[in-house]
Amino acid sequence: MTYTLLLGDYAYSSWSLRGWLLFEKFGIARSQHMLNFSGQDVEEQLANFPPARTVPTVVMPEGAVVSDSLAIAEELATRHPDAGLWSCDPLTRATTRSLAAEMHSGFVALRSDYPMNLRKAYRDTSPSKAVLADLARIETIWEDAFDKFNVQGPWLGGTYSAADAFFAPVAARIAGYGLPIGKRARSYVTQHLADPAFRRWRAMGLVHGDTLPWYAKEFENIDWPGPKPLVAIAVSGFAAENDACPYSGRPVTDVMELDGRRFGFCNPFCRDKTVADPEAWPDFMALLSS
């Protein structure tokens, strides 16, 4: 099977993050194409994929175009029943499906007031009553899932499911804007920020595309609250420990330095996404430890 996955900006497109995680977390192969969010109309960029108007959009192997994240989740679960998008246990599956559906259709105040922005973090963001009501409801449904399934693991259904992919941008908003939640909910948010797949997405968001000023807010800026990345820098030249890019296997053209060691990549993006968060990339970490 060959899927074509069309996505928006890594740093700002919360729906695209959900769609990407549905493939990345469950090991489903795809070809991937990024749209430009810096002023070009998304619908115009999707003109070759009718009737799609939004991202994420997936073109299925037989040509069906699916451009709703919940529909994408259900279609992938049907086509890949062993991938684990939903639990085989009826109670867990029903509960996490309900969670994903409520996220998909709800929490309008939170989404409107605090758009996802993985390039910034703030404090003292003064949430409105409507946002506080959304946060209270989120805690209620999370707590219900924790009470049912927490003995199995850290995610809403114990093990990671499509519901967690849907709540990843919510976690990013709560963390990025310093929104008030309780201890158990905070632990769940922290779990998302530390998740290697989430870290890979954010690393790409830090180095791909323009910084879009209309997503910025006039709050006090702070450091991103997730794990602190290893310190690496891009450097000039071609000398590196490795001859081939750890991701593509192609010859080295761009180099980074970490702890006095030089590592090469096949293009600036491969290098820069690694510089942004080296530990997020298993193939690079295998090279580092070799």
Summarize pLDDT for 49-93 with one digit per residue, the tens: 999 999 999 999 999 999 999 999 999 999 999 999 999 999 999
Residue closest to 288 by CA, chosen among 277, 200, 250, 204: 277
**What is the spatial distance between Cα 91 and Cα 97, in angstroms, rounded to a whole number?**
10
**What is the spatial distance between Cα 209 and Cα 278, in angstroms, rounded to a whole number?**
19
Task: Report helix angle 196-207 to 183-194, nearest 10.
Answer: 60
CATH 1.20.1050.10 in the chain is located at 90-200
The pair phi, psi for residue 174, each rounded to 5°, is: -60, -45
User: pLDDT for 111-137, tens place per residue?
Assistant: 999 999 999 999 999 999 999 999 999
Q: What is the pLDDT of residue 149?
A: 85
The neighbour count for residue 124, using CB atoms within 10 Å, is 9
Q: What is the pLDDT of residue 1?
A: 66
CATH 3.40.30.10 in the chain is located at 4-79
**What is the spatial distance between Cα 33 and Cα 220, in angstroms, rounded to a whole number?**
34
For 146-252, where are the E strands, in sequence order? Answer: 220-221, 232-235
Q: Tokens 């890019």 sit at which residue?
A: 245
**What is the spatial distance between Cα 171 and Cα 79, in angstroms, rounded to a whole number?**
28
Q: What is the pLDDT of residue 153?
A: 76
Specify the fold of 90-200. Glutathione S-transferase Yfyf (Class Pi); Chain A, domain 2 (1.20.1050)
CATH architecture of 4-79: 3-Layer(aba) Sandwich (3.40)
**What is the spatial distance between Cα 208 and Cα 215, in angstroms, rounded to a whole number?**
16
pLDDT band at 39 (very low <50, low <70, confident <90, very high): confident
